[in-house]
């Protein structure tokens, strides 16, 4: 199964950044991206709606596919039995990193720690939530009427649990952010 990333990260030193800049600076590509941001479409629908030749749309769609800005979501069949691709926007963030920085490596290094932090915080929250649902009341002697209500109210223990999971999560994320900043500054 292919790995689905929600971002495109390029360095200014890569050829991919140059190709990406060329595609984004192309007026026709931008028109196609703008249209696909609103509605998915086939090449023929794009040509008709944008008043462009089909060959121009096909050329630009191929460039947009190579740079991962557009994806072929599904296909339909034409009346003649030909497969027609339906295109949609990839909905990915584009991150351009200055040359010499290793931001992607830094993110990859802290990703496991971040996931473990969320898992531990979730376990802490789950533990304290199960502890708070236990019956904390002390059995009161059985009495009649208002005396019984008073006795039960006096013997019931009301507990509030401090948000340990939230404290752990904020503390851990603070340390991870400090480490990330330190590693980026160290690599400069």
157 half-sphere exposure, CB direction, 13 A CA radius: 11
pLDDT at 153: 52
**Cα–Cα distance for residue pair 185/124, rounded to 1 Å:** 33
Residues 79 and 157 in one domain: no
pLDDT tens digits for 34-85? 898 888 888 889 999 999 999 999 999 999 888 888 888 777 787 777 888 8
Whether residue 66 contacts residue 18, with contact meaning beta carbons closer than 8 Å, is answered with: no
pLDDT tens digits for 162-181? 777 778 878 888 888 887 77
Q: Is residue 2 part of a domain?
A: no
List, in sequence order, every residue forming a beta bridge with 162; answer none if it has no partner: none
The two tokens of residue 135 are 């019956």
What secondary structure letter does DSSP report for 76?
A: E
DSSP string, 152-188: HHHHBPP-----HHHHHHHHHHHHHHHHHHHHHHHH-
What secondary structure letter does DSSP report for 74?
A: E
The pair phi, psi for residue 156, each rounded to 5°, is -75, 130
Q: Domain ends where: 58, 79, 97? A: 97
Residues 84 and 20 in one domain: yes
Domain count, the chain: 2
Whether residue 180 contacts residue 187, with contact meaning beta carbons closer than 8 Å, is answered with: no
Q: Domain ends where: 76, 97, 118? A: 97
pLDDT at 62: 92
Q: Domain ends where: 97, 114, 138? A: 97
pLDDT at 52: 92
Phi-psi region of 129 (alpha: psi -120 to 50; beta: other; left: phi over 0): alpha
The domain of 52 spans 7-97
Question: Strand 7-11 to strand 93-97: parallel, antiparallel, or no bridges (unpaired)?
Answer: parallel
Residues 86 and 132 in one domain: no
Q: Is residue 76 part of a domain?
A: yes
Phi-psi region of 89 (alpha: psi -120 to 50; beta: other; left: phi over 0): beta
């Amino acid at each position: 199964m292919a790995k689905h990333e929600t971002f495109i990260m390029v360095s200014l030193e890569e050829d991919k950044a140059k190709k990406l800049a060329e595609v984004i600076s192309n007026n026709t590509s931008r028109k196609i991206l703008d249209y696909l941001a609103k509605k998915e479409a086939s090449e023929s629908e794009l040509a008709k709606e944008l008043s462009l030749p089909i060959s121009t749309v096909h050329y630009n769609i191929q460039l947009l596919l190579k740079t991962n800005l557009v994806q072929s979501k599904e296909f339909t069949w034409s009346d003649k039995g030909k497969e027609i691709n339906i295109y949609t926007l990839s909905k990915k963030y584009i991150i351009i990193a200055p040359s010499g920085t290793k931001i992607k490596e830094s993110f990859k290094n802290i990703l496991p720690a971040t996931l473990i932090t969320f898992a531990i915080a979730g376990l802490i929250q789950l533990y304290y939530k199960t502890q708070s649902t236990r019956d904390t009341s002390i059995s009161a002697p059985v009495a009649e009427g208002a005396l019984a209500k008073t006795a039960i109210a006096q013997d019931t223990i009301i507990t509030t649990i401090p948000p340990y999971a939230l404290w752990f999560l904020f503390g851990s994320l603070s340390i991870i952010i400090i480490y990330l900043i330190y590693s980026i500054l160290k690599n400069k």
